[in-house]
Structure 1
Amino acid sequence: MKMILMGLYFLFVLNVFADSVISKGEVYINGQKATKTSVVKLGDFIKTGKNSKVKFNIGKDAFLANADTKFSIEEKGGLKTLNVVTGGVLAVFGKGGSKHEVKTENMTAGIRGTGVYVEHIDGKSYFCTCYGETQLNTAKAHKSYEAKHHNMAWVLADGTIKPAKKLRDHNDDELRELEAMVGRIPPFDN
């Protein structure tokens, strides 16, 4: 009985942290249409089409991209970077291990064991620290954010940071789904 339980636990852990891709609509990884067997790796470039979404994990980090989004996740010198060219990405990052940052054309945010949503469109960025700590840096400003449950800002094309009043294009259920992919629950549910 003990061996069966150990085997089930091992399969559960492997399944929880198995890199997987769940997509709807037109999704491309490095220019190739995503299939049921596709896997996203560090360094890949992802593009979603109109009315499309993609959800995947890379180790302890999980991502959900909305329609009309172009982005990559790269690693250099122990720093993992979510680079959003256009569109919106919701991401949850595991604590410990690698350092993380999120970039758009006009901002960089340092991340620690955090859930964030970033959207870049028409030269400006919307950035939400859903929970955790972030350090938002632009050409004009440096701000620290801490959130237990959503702290939002707009970064204008010139780097000016302004508070955002409304939650945009992401929700708590999506955060729960992403955290579940990597065997966690969001801190706001603890």
Structure 2
Amino acid sequence: MTAHLLTSRSEKEILWYQRRDALKAAAAWLAMGGLPAAMAQQRSNIVQLTGDALLNGARLDPLQSIQTGDDIQTGPGSNLVFVIGNSSFQVRQNSRLAVERGATLNAVSLLRLLTGAVASVWGKGVNRAIVMPTLTAGIRGTGVYAEIFAERDNRNYFCNCYGTVDMDAGKQKLVSQADYHQAFWADAEAKNGVFLTPAQALNHTDEELEFLARLIDQRTTWQIAGRKGNKDGSGKMTY
């Protein structure tokens, strides 16, 4: 298991992917053919749910399906993993987000994170974004982690775990290209003239991204390359 830095998150919460129920759920999801089979058989696209969550204000049943246009809210101690189209999502406890519709019912055009944190892996596509209070991230095909730190005056944190992301915060724009975790703080007010400042890779693991990538038949850049970096937030691998 790779080393990871935690800020206001418990080890148990970060290591959800090691739980027997999560591993069994993922194995069953893949054995039954993933999302195409779930859609054809009209089964749920929820891979795993621990604890309580709300879907559009009503308690979420694991047999339900999450669709674009839905509002999702997780409770204390909960963990939610689901797949829509060619994207997979893991929602931490005490989080709220909305998934907005793209060209079709099963295409996510925008993920709007209001509170909490979400890890996600996106297949290739266009016109998709993650929106946070102080940051918009244009997604091309990548794995990312986003969190709003309530204990830090709702400061926004974003890690481009791998791939290419178009970053937009305040009056600042940049393109993040990462092979292995390039992280940023996005601030509402400029600090020393910039809105985006470098950060370390916090509160998420390589194994979480690998888990999510597998659900949509993908591999991370470090799995493909067979090597990793030192997870300092620079986005570079060790060569």
TM-score range (shorter-chain normalised) is 0.7 to 0.9
SS in 2 for 1:113: coil
Note if 1:126 corresponds to 2:154: no
Which structure 2 residues correspond to residues 175-190 of structure 1 after superposition, within 5 A? 175-190=209-224
Equivalent AA in structure 1 for residue 156 of structure 2 = S
TM-score, reference length from structure 1: 0.86
Deviations 1:78-134 (A, max 9, x none): 7700100011010110113x4310101111011111111111233321000000000
- Gaps of at least 5 residues in structure 2 are 1-28, 39-44, 225-239
Indicate if the aligned counterparts of 1:21 and 1:40 stay in contact, CA closer than 8 A. no
Task: Give the Å deviation of 1:188.
Answer: 1.4
**Pairs within 5 Å for 1:1-190:** 15-17=33-35, 18=38, 19-76=45-102, 80-96=109-125, 98-121=126-149, 122-158=153-189, 160-165=195-200, 167-190=201-224
Comparing 19-28 and 130-139, the one that deviates more:
19-28
- Cα distance in 1, alignment partners of residues 170 and 30 from structure 2: 45
- State the secondary structure of the residue aligned to 1:174: helix
What stretches of structure 1 move > 6 A for 4+ residues in a row? 11-14
Q: Secondary structure at the match of 1:163?
A: strand
- Give 1:181 deviation, angstroms: 1.1
**Deviation (angstroms), 1:182:** 1.2
Overall identity of the aligned pairs, in %? 30
Q: Indicate the larger mover: 11-20 or 156-165.
A: 11-20
Distance 1:70 1:90 in 2: 13
Q: Distance in 1 between matches of 2:155 and 2:173?
A: 16
Compute the displacement of 1:14 (Å). 6.5
Equivalents in 2 of 1:183, 1:110: separation in Å?
22
Q: Secondary structure at the match of 1:157?
A: strand
Paired letter, 2:196: I
Q: Deviations over 1:35-91 (max 9, x none)?
A: 220211001100011111100000210000111100011025677001000110101
Between structures 1 and 2, the one with greater strand share: 1
Judge conservation of contact 1:106–1:158 (CA < 8 Å) in 2.
no
TM-score under structure 2 normalisation? 0.69
In structure 1, stretches of 5+ residues that fail to align are 1-10
